[in-house]
Amino acid sequence: MSWITYVLLGVMVVFRAAGRADDQDDKRPPVSIPEPTKKSAASGHFVIASIQYRQAREGVDTFAAALVELVSYFNENTDISTPVRGMESSLSAPNLPEAGLLYLSGNDARLQFDTVEKKALGDYLKNGGMLFAEDVMPLFRNRRGRGGGAGIEGSAFDLQFKALMADPAVMGGRESGGLKFLGSMR
């Protein structure tokens, strides 16, 4: 080893020893931060609630198999330590806060929710709840050509969903952190 290496090692030892002396002069009490405890739903399950609403039609706006498939996907492909189960629910159901995830699908049905339902959805989301909204394609288009355009910005479901989220009773009026889902709107 060269003399430069010995000098650098000596300097490092001196600085390390000086740092230890400073630590001994510190009179602050040690801080202990407890490990967080894992919380799970009271039922011992992670619940995905499929939101049922007026005017939604099976095979067009909702699909009974969608909830089953979503639960199956979660159980097979996530690291959630509790079993995942699904349930159908309305936004006014008293057990709505127990759900870990709300699933809302639609295509061309009107998303009409009353004041109580909007407030329940807003409270759920503002308290950390998650919502997965999906613009779905119907099994068959009707003769008038309606029922298409799923997943496209500006579709009937897309516009209604954004209006629902912007409603003051739901998430509207939040200056910071709210309405992040509207990023695609120009």
Amino acid (1-letter code) at residue 15:
F
Helix residue spans in the chain (DSSP H): 3-25, 64-77, 115-126, 156-166
Residue 17 lies in a domain: no
Residue 84 lies in a domain: yes
Q: What is the CA radius of gyration of the chain?
A: 27
Q: What is the pLDDT of residues 27-70, one digit of tens each?
A: 666 666 666 565 544 457 889 999 999 888 888 888 888 999 99
Domain of 166, CATH number, reads 3.40.50.12140
DSSP-derived letter for residue 64 is H
Query: In b/e form, how buried is each residue of 16-37, taking b as 16+ CB within 10 angstroms?
Result: eeeeeeeeeeeeeeeeeeeeee
Find residue 159's DSSP bridge partners.
none
Residues making up the chain, counted from first to last: 186
Residue 12 lies in a domain: no
Please tell me the predicted confidence (pLDDT) of residue 102: 94
Residue 108 lies in a domain: yes
Residue 3 lies in a domain: no
Residues of the chain with pLDDT under 70: 1-43, 139-152, 173-186
Residue 98 lies in a domain: yes
Query: What is the maximal distance between C-alpha atoms in the chain?
Result: 89
Q: Look up residue 47 and give its two tokens.
A: 């619940």
Please tell me the predicted confidence (pLDDT) of residue 89: 93
Range of the domain at 103: 46-173
**Cβ proximity of 158 and 120 under 8 Å:** no
Please tell me the predicted confidence (pLDDT) of residue 183: 40
Residue 182 lies in a domain: no
**Cβ proximity of 114 and 74 under 8 Å:** no
Please tell me the predicted confidence (pLDDT) of residue 45: 82
Please tell me the predicted confidence (pLDDT) of residue 15: 58
Residue 40 lies in a domain: no
Total domain count, the chain: 1
Please tell me the predicted confidence (pLDDT) of residue 1: 57
Please tell me the predicted confidence (pLDDT) of residue 109: 84
